[in-house]
Structure 1
């Protein structure tokens, strides 16, 4: 026999049990007091709420309050988005807004309502009160989310030439969304509290707050409870609808970013570039890794950097990719270099095809599929990156790097997590699609220089680390 359940598999009876306990306690308290003036029974409140909902004038009343609360919340949310994004990019603006936000959080809402009544009148006060009440938590939630965006993924997107708005849709929005969802769960309820409180103080004609105030004056306690139940139900409905819509944006934003990609008939042409260091000192996390390093990699050359773990291969590649400025000396980096990073940097919610299209939006879908089929089985192409194995994910990154037009291709341990056959095919794929570009690869695998027909650049340990070149015949 099937069990009635809520979304997520939680049984309905299990969800209702706590509510039933509180309703029972409410009923017992009502019986103990023995006065409906002090505490009406829950059934009486429910019946009265039903009567109110069926009354002819109910929906105009509910609409009056709903429009103002929902409108104030929507304006607050949009304002939090705009100022949160701006403050994330501008330290000056963030500092300027700080005192205002602290004041808004600390000022009692009743004091705000009284001032608003003086300034704008009773009919507009609830919407503005909602805006001011919920703006701070939404603003701070978005700011915290943006501050904690994964810097490595952002570096990858910048490297593939993804613009600020598309980066927002592809990564920043999705990573900030949990913070906004958590804040919105409380902000929706806070909006109704602030809106109805404003109506109670200002008593605009035709509002829920006015009816609650009248019920209080006439000592109709059951009506007070019934209207309160109506507000709670409206608040829950608004919260659920808004959270569902907000969650949906997390799925829609990356798809929109792909549609907004640059449109051109063919890939931009890029001539191979020279990569060089001249007396460069490079540091990672504040610690000097390579000091006084000089080297020249000619345009169109192929080089494999080898050496033990921790010697500075990744640091060297980051500098030559233009992602790591030197502490001293100079670096001539590859402009817009195509890169495969030591750690996997895919957008997990996108498919294999979409991750490649991200770096080469001018490629037709058939061309992307043909490229990926050189490395992956057909059934893997439509799967999200999060559903693929480590080796499959690595091959997607290789396809993405070679599909992107650039003057240089820089690959950091590109064949990790690949078996021998996949390793051989991946190396052949790199050569097939390199197109004369400068190639720089970091590897600890001795067969890679031969597979890539490349010379070796060895880094040896020692304080500081230095480099020496050795040709490979």
Structure 2
């Protein structure tokens, strides 16, 4: 925030303080409306006392516990409900009820059930939980599933997929929700204390000020509540952004570091045994509507290029090979997840990761950091290797995906339009890169670019009539 912004905000605060002071002077009774000067004097007397800090800690601890339980529970149950529809249907009535029921009614019931000391933490939990739960459902429903599919096909573990993909897509929703949820927590917590009046709480102090007509104390404690709510919001959002791998920007490097733990430079890639791929009268399509029927057999270690024109079903075939699409009829034999190295037609990168981190994430431990940098240096300028892929051009991003596919130790390599967005020189260099790092594995490429079969020393096949080994 620059000096001009600071002056503007200070002017805004001064304006409203002046309005408050004029209103107090117009009422001409501190019993009805204490002015800002009187309230600040009362605050100056309260803050240095041990009783003040004891009261603030009492309320803060219970509200923080309720908020933390609501956040963790809402996150966990929201993820579970998104994954299993039956759970979502089971939870829906209860969570919708909690979202709609007046918090005062809940507080009265809680006072009868658990007493005044615990009521604030439970009230905070019940007020915040629905917001976090629905936020997670909304975030997961809007998520791009493409990267998750690629990571599953490459055999990346569930926890690493969560850190590299799910969590990063979910965080913006959580941050936006928590901006309001922190304030909701303090409103619910202090309201519960005000009704239950447990000894030593801020709610009790506000209630006593009301009984004794101490308007200055009432305003003073209200300012304290607002200040603590503001501070808690800033602290929690900073925690999301900077610690434990749970944030949008500063925590993403931590979660990414956990996802691509540094491997020893002594590790060397082990070339897997190649595996064949075959389509036996396989009819491919979506929702019962056929797109293509394929008879295709790729011997282990062979190289095949599908040269059909756009729209013929090459991408559909690639998805079927990867186990992401079940054939409508017929049979497909291909290596399973974890044994396929794949590059899809659309971009599927962890956007906040660097090029080398994207490669390492899918390398299954076969590469060190030095190995990843060396591999990428064959395709990218040196200054691009360590930069986030969001800063790279379309052609450079495509080459990162190609390097990632070849770095993965799969038994077969499947590439869908691998040279799209590349100029002639980069196209030729990328083809040579594939041949250098194929290591005898089976290669299946979908491309309608002329000359790619010769570039990759591959036989040409077409959907429907392609049959035989090579």
- Regarding TM over 0.5, the answer is yes
Q: Report if aligned partners of 1:456, 1:469 keep a CA contact under 8 Å in 2.
A: no
Q: Deviations over 1:77-124 (max 9, x none)?
A: 111122122222222222111111112112221222122222222111
Matches within 5 A, 1:73-92: 73-92=67-86
1:27 alignment counterpart = 21
Matches within 5 A, 1:43-442: 43-248=37-242, 249-250=246-247, 251=252, 252-259=254-261, 267=269, 270-284=272-286, 287-290=289-292, 292-335=293-336, 336-360=339-363, 361-442=365-446
Unaligned runs of 5+ in 2: none
TM-score by length of 1: 0.92
1:81, 1:363 → 2: CA distance?
34
Q: Report if aligned partners of 2:121, 2:189 keep a CA contact under 8 Å in 1.
A: yes
1:4 alignment counterpart = 3
Shift of 1:286: 6.7
Q: Deviations over 1:313-339 (max 9, x none)?
A: 111222122222112222122323111
Q: Report if aligned partners of 1:457, 1:470 keep a CA contact under 8 Å in 2.
A: no
2:408, 2:437 → 1: CA distance?
10
TM-score by length of 2: 0.92
Shift of 1:49: 2.0
Question: Kindly tell me: are residues 320 and 3 of structure 1, through their superposed partners in 2, closer, same or farther at Cα, counting changes over 3 Å?
Answer: closer
Q: Deviations over 1:173-228 (max 9, x none)?
A: 11011111111111101111111111111111111111111100000111111100
2:266, 2:341 → 1: CA distance?
19
1:334, 1:280 → 2: CA distance?
16
Unaligned runs of 5+ in 1: 6-10, 460-465
Shift of 1:307: 2.4
Q: Report if aligned partners of 1:215, 1:221 keep a CA contact under 8 Å in 2.
A: yes
1:263, 1:327 → 2: CA distance?
46
Question: Kindly tell me: are residues 94 and 471 of structure 1, through their superposed partners in 2, closer, same or farther at Cα, counting changes over 3 Å?
Answer: closer
Q: Deviations over 1:275-325 (max 9, x none)?
A: 1112222125775321x3212122111111112221211112221222221
2:2, 2:93 → 1: CA distance?
53
- Counterpart of 2:462 (choices 439, 458, 465) is 458
Q: Report if aligned partners of 2:265, 2:368 keep a CA contact under 8 Å in 1.
A: no
1:374, 1:125 → 2: CA distance?
63
SS at match of 1:259: coil
1:220, 1:122 → 2: CA distance?
23
Question: Kindly tell me: are residues 121 and 260 of structure 1, through their superposed partners in 2, closer, same or farther at Cα, counting changes over 3 Å?
Answer: farther
2:269, 2:111 → 1: CA distance?
60
| Root-mean-square deviation (Å) | 2.3
Is the deviation greater in 256-265 or in 272-281?
Answer: 256-265
Shift of 1:260: 8.9
1:28, 1:310 → 2: CA distance?
73
2:198, 2:139 → 1: CA distance?
38
SS at match of 1:81: helix
1:161, 1:16 → 2: CA distance?
55
1:22, 1:328 → 2: CA distance?
72
SS at match of 1:299: coil
Q: Report if aligned partners of 1:456, 1:470 keep a CA contact under 8 Å in 2.
A: no
Q: Report if aligned partners of 1:263, 1:362 keep a CA contact under 8 Å in 2.
A: no
Q: Report if aligned partners of 1:456, 1:471 keep a CA contact under 8 Å in 2.
A: no
2:352, 2:383 → 1: CA distance?
17
2:282, 2:454 → 1: CA distance?
29
1:58, 1:346 → 2: CA distance?
52
SS at match of 2:260: helix
